[in-house]
């Protein structure tokens, strides 16, 4: 059903939105950029026939509205089209692009990747503290807000209580697909998805990663000759080996500090090289001029 250009009006709140373009689609619905007819503000509208899923996401966004990495939920309403009922969730519109689109244009540095993973991990940790597992984590659900220069996590439809089965997932990030564990809601399910996301960002080729085994993926990481602590931590998280999620985050923070310090050292080294080179060139120039003056005196 093509909605671009149409105006939909909520049955209960009576707010009207003009559909501009589709932003994305998933298993339970589609997300559109839309314009509020009354206040002329752009919003993201998630439209679905699945009342349970869209209501759950609305409730989750309100419950965790203190987390800055999550978009604001504005309202929940429904409308009818061709005799069918559709439910829509009105969300803060994020002017930007998701990380899957971004990584096709630019290869991120390791320090940037680790920083991003820390932000996402700490956000997910807040859900764990309240007894929930994020479930469906993927690059498409991470947005770069160009205006505010922030990372936003979108689509909370995969969130389930701890102990339940995972209902919404993406094969690349699903540990059961890699034969590592069950499709059950525990903290290590999210940790596995975060580690795969990290591998994906480092390697920068999702199609190739889908055709690899975990051993192949780890081999490719080692070929990149990146920081060994990063590789070892990813390996622990992927194989669910003697590490809990909160320990994973703390280790990641320590690694990030090390990478930042190494970057500063390299920067200072380069600056010193430039300054020294400039000094040598200046000294040679002065010497040449001095010799010329003496000879012609």
Q: Which residues pair with 150 in a beta bridge?
A: 145
Domains observed in the chain: 7-92 (3.30.200.20), 97-256 (1.10.510.10)
Write down the pTM of the prediction: 0.84
Which pLDDT score, from 0 to 100, does residue 111 have? 95
What pLDDT is stored for residue 271 in this prediction?
Answer: 41
pLDDT for res 242:
87
How large is the angle between the packed helices 110-129 and 187-203, nearest 10 degrees? 160
- Predicted confidence at residue 59, as pLDDT, reads 95
Determine the pLDDT at residue 296: 64
Mean pLDDT by 10 residues, the chain (297 residues): 93 98 87 97 96 93 92 97 96 93 88 95 95 95 90 90 95 96 97 97 93 96 93 96 94 95 56 47 52 58
């Amino acid at each position: 059903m093509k909605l671009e250009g149409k105006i939909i009006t909520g049955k209960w709140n009576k707010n009207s939105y003009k559909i501009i373009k589709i932003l994305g689609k998933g298993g339970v619905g589609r997300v559109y950029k839309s314009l509020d007819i009354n206040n002329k503000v752009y919003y993201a509208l998630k439209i679905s026939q699945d009342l349970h899923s869209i209501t759950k996401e609305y409730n989750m966004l309100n419950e965790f509205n203190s987390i800055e990495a999550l978009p604001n939920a504005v309202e929940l309403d429904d409308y009818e089209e061709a005799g069918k009922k559709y439910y829509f969730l009105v969300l803060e519109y994020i002017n930007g692009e998701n990380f899957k689109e971004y990584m096709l244009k630019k290869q991120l540095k390791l320090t940037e990747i680790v920083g991003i993973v820390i932000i996402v991990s700490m956000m997910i940790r807040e859900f764990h503290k309240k007894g929930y597992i994020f479930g469906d984590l993927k690059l498409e659900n991470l947005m770069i807000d160009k205006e505010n220069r922030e990372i936003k996590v979108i689509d909370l439809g995969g969130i389930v209580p701890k102990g339940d089965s995972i209902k919404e997932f993406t094969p690349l990030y699903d540990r059961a697909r890699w034969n590592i564990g069950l499709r059950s809601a525990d903290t290590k399910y999210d940790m596995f998805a975060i580690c795969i996301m990290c591998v994906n960002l480092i390697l920068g080729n999702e199609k190739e990663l889908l055709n690899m085994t975990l051993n192949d993926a780890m081999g490719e990481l080692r070929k990149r000759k990146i920081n060994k602590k990063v590789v070892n931590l990813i390996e622990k998280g992927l194989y669910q080996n003697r590490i809990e999620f909160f320990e994973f985050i703390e280790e990641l923070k320590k690694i990030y500090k090390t990478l930042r310090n190494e970057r500063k050292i390299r920067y200072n080294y380069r600056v010193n090289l430039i300054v020294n080179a400039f000094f040598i060139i200046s000294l040679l120039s002065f010497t040449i001029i001095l010799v010329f003056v003496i000879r012609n005196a």
